[in-house]
Structure 1
């Protein structure tokens, strides 16, 4: 059977675009359909605009720090419309780059929603149908909104970047990395921020000591955290949003932000109708080579619910391309993937948490907390945290966690060593670079405790 395309990709995010470009560059006929904007969640509604907002929110603290160092100036209020206009220009530039680079590689782009009709057929929203030898689903995910009455009064992370004005008082529901990052952003931009979280602590799944450290720092910076509390009622009152929590606490806010997780964007694509299996959360079930239950249909990225990070989706796309079009069966290596939360302060981590290490066997815990030189000079009390987990027998480094300024930058470098299987002695043998925060990585000589 002759097909219209060798590969048809549904989804124009980082994973889908990378797979499409690589395959087209090999001389195959490739098409891609994207119903929204090229670049996907990361570029348009996630990592990139969020990080730019993080930068914007940190300048107030930097200015105050500069004054402690002798600079004399007055800092005016944050101009949200000016920033937002610049932000949209930058996102437009990146969107155009994604589209242009894909087209230069030979990818045909359809700016339309696409659904599956059978194992080899795709239908666009305008009724056009195409056949393809292989189909790749890379549709990503979307924010989850709880089924609470009047939940539509709140916004989700996608909406933050298109707000008309900054709220003076904001409630964030959810204590995961998205909620905590936006808490730091809005707090830094001058908004009064409160959080409702169901659990006893923020950042579930991360190292307990580190997430407690982040929570303490957030509170010191002015964020109010209501633990063990979920919204039970919401309603509009006098132009504001009244919220009552399960703890009995009630308060009015200018805006409410739902940061209650994300779901795979797999509904209404015709996946199950053609035989593709989904798990209970809506994620697409795939094998080690991203193949679904339908041999001609593959999936990768956030919609398969493995590790929901942009660089992971890109690596998955490379593995997919090598396997399906390169004749080189390749599995994705999900071990020791570094990650960072751009909270304030930042947290970077690679490998095991202390709780995970405790379950595996005898482990030495090296840790230190101190006031960094830059902040100490200005009289700041906030401390940074460095933590390293070491196998007691092999001396291999099992995990590293850093909380503090530039933690993400430092953890990327530490991840290289951990991925290579470095031992504690390898770190110890490295001469410290002074004066830096990162030198603590090689100067922690004695464990603070042993996990047996």
Structure 2
């Protein structure tokens, strides 16, 4: 239950992304006077240039793949030419229409979120915000031809949720025409003929997967032994095998020293002197937090060397009245985590009940084809002795629904505590793994045993049946 204040508590939110949005809504719900400052649009980069548009593009790529592989299920497409003979039509992707749709969806989502905030009574200020001490926000706003004016907002609590931006390298500066960051790709009118992707982390792998499905000839440059170095090794191996089988060129243990425009294309020069030519290049080499120059250090907020804001499990910074959420913090850079941090920050600030965020219980997903979903402890941590657990892996090839749908790649992997059988983690590689991971995430959150998970009824046939089957295989025999 929230504390009673003689006046309404004043909450200022810097940034309208998932963390800031949820913080503002939570504050309004608890009766606070909330002001949200956003420079671009409600939803921030997650909605306008990152998560929403990229996953919409990926949805189109999945549809393209489904059409292309439908012949395996007995579905064939034919039309007739002028002579009346049956011919197979060519599959074409209208990227201009795709990008128009995805940017439209992003704008609509932003407007819907803005409407929700207004209905809740949140004051929205458009402009550049910065802190002046722990209890004041100064907003620089553009107002017509009169130049810039300034709003000052006195607050009791600040929630900083300013997000992050694509990291740029001086030797491969994006120009938005041939060399792109992932926020600039949506200006393309046609699928790149030859796309070079520099960086094989989550962002690089997702876009490489999507554009390959859309018809681009993709070369993925990875500085590590395999793609997705931060993911489960078995899962990464499946994705790399799918990539190469689909015609993608994967250059492992290769580092791009520079990327430059040459004529009507681009050339990436590797550290060993090799050159890779293409029509376009996507730079996916990480991101940097948008924390520079907004008064954080002057207000006493501790930052890491990389500029991320240090926060605890209730999103509080080193300054009691300042909280932070999202990609600008030291927590996982996921929209779901940002949202949880935003709510936790306000609940804690206003004395409401709050459960500290446990990163071990956060489910995450890589939107490649197939997807990779993970939660809890990893196999690597178990093998290194950091966690004590048993491992069971069940290939999807044995699943009847997978056979019906023509799914060839993927698996379900469960991790259970040695002795007790408590579920401590899992990995799913499958179509819609992002949906399938939920029962494992719930098992981890609520400390269910494999036997308890196995007792749940899964539909037959279903891909989720592999989860309960894996759990049954890990049955704990009581003495």
**SS of alignment partner, residue 215 of structure 1:** helix
1:353 is displaced (CA, Å) by: 1.5
Alignment of 1:55-204 (within 5 A): 55-73=59-77, 74-125=89-140, 126-148=149-171, 150=173, 154-204=179-229
Q: Distance in 2 between matches of 1:235 and 1:228?
A: 21
Gaps of 5+ in 2: 1-5, 78-88, 141-148, 475-479
State yes or no: 1:349 paired with 2:349.
no
1:381 is displaced (CA, Å) by: 8.1
Paired residue for 2:45? 41
Alignment of 1:168-317 (within 5 A): 168-317=193-342
Aligned partners of 1:350 and 1:415 also within 8 Å: yes
Aligned partners of 1:25 and 1:106 also within 8 Å: no
1:4 is displaced (CA, Å) by: 11
Q: Distance in 2 between matches of 1:16 and 1:362?
A: 37
CA shift in 2, pair 1:62/1:39, >3 Å? same
CA RMSD of aligned residues (A): 2.4
**SS of alignment partner, residue 366 of structure 1:** strand
Aligned partners of 1:140 and 1:265 also within 8 Å: yes
**SS of alignment partner, residue 148 of structure 1:** helix
Q: Distance in 1 between matches of 2:192 and 2:342?
A: 39
Q: Distance in 1 between matches of 2:409 and 2:442?
A: 25
**SS of alignment partner, residue 155 of structure 2:** strand
Higher mean Cα deviation, 145-154 or 191-200?
145-154
- CA displacement, residues 393-414 of structure 1 (integer Å, 9 cap, x when unaligned): 1112221111111211111222
Q: Distance in 1 between matches of 2:443 and 2:353?
A: 27
CA shift in 2, pair 1:441/1:147, >3 Å? same
Q: Distance in 1 between matches of 2:457 and 2:160?
A: 48
Aligned partners of 2:396 and 2:402 also within 8 Å: no
Paired residue for 1:417? 443
* Equivalent in 21, 25, 30 of residue 21 of structure 1: 25
1:143 is displaced (CA, Å) by: 1.2
Aligned partners of 1:3 and 1:131 also within 8 Å: no
Aligned partners of 1:5 and 1:131 also within 8 Å: no
CA shift in 2, pair 1:42/1:248, >3 Å? same
CA shift in 2, pair 1:276/1:195, >3 Å? same
Higher mean Cα deviation, 65-74 or 203-212?
65-74
1:446 is displaced (CA, Å) by: 5.1
- CA displacement, residues 117-136 of structure 1 (integer Å, 9 cap, x when unaligned): 22222222232322222221
Q: Distance in 1 between matches of 2:341 and 2:10?
A: 19
Q: Distance in 2 between matches of 1:163 and 1:242?
A: 19
1:269 is displaced (CA, Å) by: 0.7
Aligned partners of 1:170 and 1:193 also within 8 Å: yes
Q: Distance in 1 between matches of 2:386 and 2:184?
A: 42
TM-score by length of 1: 0.92
Q: Distance in 2 between matches of 1:243 and 1:188?
A: 22
- CA displacement, residues 304-357 of structure 1 (integer Å, 9 cap, x when unaligned): 121221121111122112111244465223231111111111111111221111
1:177 is displaced (CA, Å) by: 0.8
Q: Distance in 1 between matches of 2:173 and 2:320?
A: 43
Paired residue for 1:408? 434
**SS of alignment partner, residue 323 of structure 2:** strand
Q: Distance in 1 between matches of 2:243 and 2:440?
A: 25
Gaps of 5+ in 1: 448-452
Aligned partners of 1:20 and 1:30 also within 8 Å: yes
**SS of alignment partner, residue 61 of structure 1:** helix
Aligned length: 445
Paired residue for 1:51? 55
Higher mean Cα deviation, 366-375 or 117-126?
366-375
Aligned partners of 1:322 and 1:330 also within 8 Å: no
Aligned partners of 1:78 and 1:189 also within 8 Å: yes
Q: Distance in 1 between matches of 2:126 and 2:15?
A: 10
**SS of alignment partner, residue 39 of structure 2:** coil
CA shift in 2, pair 1:91/1:369, >3 Å? same
1:374 is displaced (CA, Å) by: 6.6
Aligned partners of 2:201 and 2:230 also within 8 Å: no
**SS of alignment partner, residue 157 of structure 1:** coil
Aligned partners of 1:368 and 1:385 also within 8 Å: yes
**SS of alignment partner, residue 302 of structure 1:** coil
